Amino acid sequence: MVPDSQTENKPGILVVDDSRLIRVAAKKILSSDFSVTEAKDGEDAWSILQAETSLQIVMSDLSMPNLDGLGLLSRLRKSEDPRLRDIPVIIATGAEDDDGSKEKALSAGANNFIIKPFDKAQLLASAKLLQQQRQTALALQASESANIELESQVSIDIVTGLFNQKALEQRGEEQLAFAVRHNTELALLSIQLDKYKIHFLRHGKAFALELLREFSKLLTQGRRREDSLAHLGHGEFALLLPSSDPIGTKYLADALKKRIEQHQFNIMGKLLTVTASIGIAGTVFNHSTQFTKLLEDTRQQLKVAELDGGNRIQPGVKTSQPEPAQSNPVKVPAPATAQADEIIQAMTSLRFNTPMSGDINAIARAVFPLLESWNTQHGNQYAQQLETIRRTLFNNTPVTSGSETEPA
């Protein structure tokens, strides 16, 4: 359907309904504050939205032929065009259709839900509120763009006090060159605070920035001195981990995800929990590897995690140097662990201060899962220490106590 001519200075709203009477009624209510365009079903609306860039809000019926309201909403939220993906959507339905429809619509990404026949004040207020929220979101983007431009001149993120992207890329290139030159490992985590924009829209800019600051403090807990943490903007962070192997990196990502899930934030007097998605890049790299490409790869992984609902770890494709061919490769057996009776005997020896028999490394490896469980119950605050112990135990490095170490 051909859209109406846009009234100057009025935001555009698209009313989608297969009933012409409903469209006329909605237009009469909204035309005082909006320039109204009509669509007869979801397919018609999809075509109009792609062509009319001035439209800022969608109000769609739930039940329609060709493409219903949920189908249109799904297309919008999965669109690669940010304008369509983020456009506010009001879903409307008759009272007779309310069989969980509200929950379905909101969980699918609708911004609001109203019942037909419309209450004039409710419909107009809902549309005006979404327009205000959209203007706030655009202001946020403009503000963050200005911050990024300012931060490009320095190395510190002005919101969190962490590295900014420029500093991270510089540090990343240095660490990558070192890893290639010395044949060591390097890992990169991209971390996205799930639904950050929603928190901004619901609670305001001051609330969202305070959440970012508190979230960044949580990320710094247990961080090694050599690790580099940066805030890249829009609730996205990156953590650079020198000498971190794939197993250790995955362990750290798991521990970090759990720590975020279990933490309760107090933001301006409001208690809330959040989740995060994590993209991973890491192992041994070659001379052609570029750090900016690694960072972009992890960001693509975050997009995949977001489409899957967030709160997940998305591993990347490993890039490694080719290993020399071996005619008869040697298989290294996994380090042995002690049996239950050996552990009991070792504990008895400790209790009565008698000589301990058996392989102390194997005994320590056997009880290591107990330490991991203990760390989980303490909010994963000892993850880094456990990672050091794990590397020592499972890389066949001898464990020695002070009484067993011989002088040099």
Q: Is residue 148 pLDDT above 70, yes or no?
A: no
| Cα dist from 111 to 59, 87, 134, 187, whole Å | 10, 9, 11, 38
Q: Are 31 and 78 in contact (CB under 8 A)?
A: no
Q: What is the pLDDT of residue 106?
A: 83
Contacts of 179 (CB under 8 A, 6+ apart): 185, 186, 242, 284, 285
* 179-182 contact pairs (CB < 8 A, 24+): 179/242, 179/284, 179/285, 180/285, 180/286, 180/287, 180/289
Q: What is the pLDDT of residue 3?
A: 46
Q: What is the spatial distance between Cα 190 and Cα 239, in angstroms, rounded to a whole number?
A: 6
Q: What per-residue confidence (pLDDT) applies to 27?
A: 93
Q: Tokens for 149?
A: 């431009």
Q: What is the pLDDT of residue 400?
A: 41
What's residue 406's pLDDT? 32
- Segment 210-245, tens digit of pLDDT: 999 999 999 998 888 889 999 998 899 999 999 888
Task: Of 81, 71, 96, give the one whose Cα is nearest residue 16.
Answer: 71
- Residue 315's pLDDT band, with cuts at 50, 70 and 90, is confident
Q: Lowest-pLDDT range, 48-62, 161-175, 231-245, 326-340?
A: 326-340
Q: What DSSP designation does 402 have?
A: T
Cα separations in angstroms, 75 against 11, 245, 276: 22, 40, 24
C-alpha span between 186 and 170 (Å, rounded): 15
> Do the Cβ atoms of 27 and 15 come closer than 8 Å?
yes
Note the pLDDT of residue 404.
36
Higher pLDDT, residue 165 or 4: 165
At residue 407, does pLDDT exceed 80? Answer: no
Structure tokens, 379: 């909010």
pLDDT over 80 (residue 94): no
Lowest average pLDDT, out of 144-148, 290-294, 324-328, goes to: 324-328
Buried b or exposed e, range 16-38, using 16+ CB within 10 angstroms:
bbbeeebbebbbebbeeebbbbb
Burial (CB count within 10 angstroms: exposed 0-12, middle 13-18, buried 19+), residue 363: buried
Model confidence pLDDT, tens digit, residues 80-90: 998 899 899 99
Lowest mean pLDDT segment, chosen from 94-103, 138-147, 166-175:
138-147
Q: Is 328's pLDDT higher than 70?
A: no
- Reported in sequence order, the residue ranges of 252-328 that DSSP labels E, i.e. its strands, are 265-267, 270-272, 276-283, 313-315
Q: What is the pLDDT of residue 156?
A: 83
Residue 7 carries which side chain, given as an amino acid letter? T
Please state, in angstroms and rounded to a whole number, the distance separating the CA atoms of residues 209 and 214: 9
pLDDT band at 16 (very low <50, low <70, confident <90, very high): very high
pLDDT given for residue 2 in this prediction: 44
Per-residue model confidence (pLDDT) at position 136: 76
Residue 225 is given by DSSP the state: T
Higher pLDDT, 213 or 320: 213
Q: Nearest-CA neighbor of 191 among 296, 298, 267, 273?
A: 298
Share of the chain above pLDDT 90, in %: 36
Specify which residues 393 forms β-bridges with: none
Question: How far is the CA of 18 from the CAs of 93, 211, 373, 404, in angstroms?
Answer: 12, 43, 57, 83
Question: What's the pLDDT at 271?
Answer: 94
What is the pLDDT, as a whole number, of residue 150?
54
Mean pLDDT along residues 165-192: 89
Mean pLDDT of 88-93: 90
Confidence of residue 323 (pLDDT cuts 50, 70, 90): very low
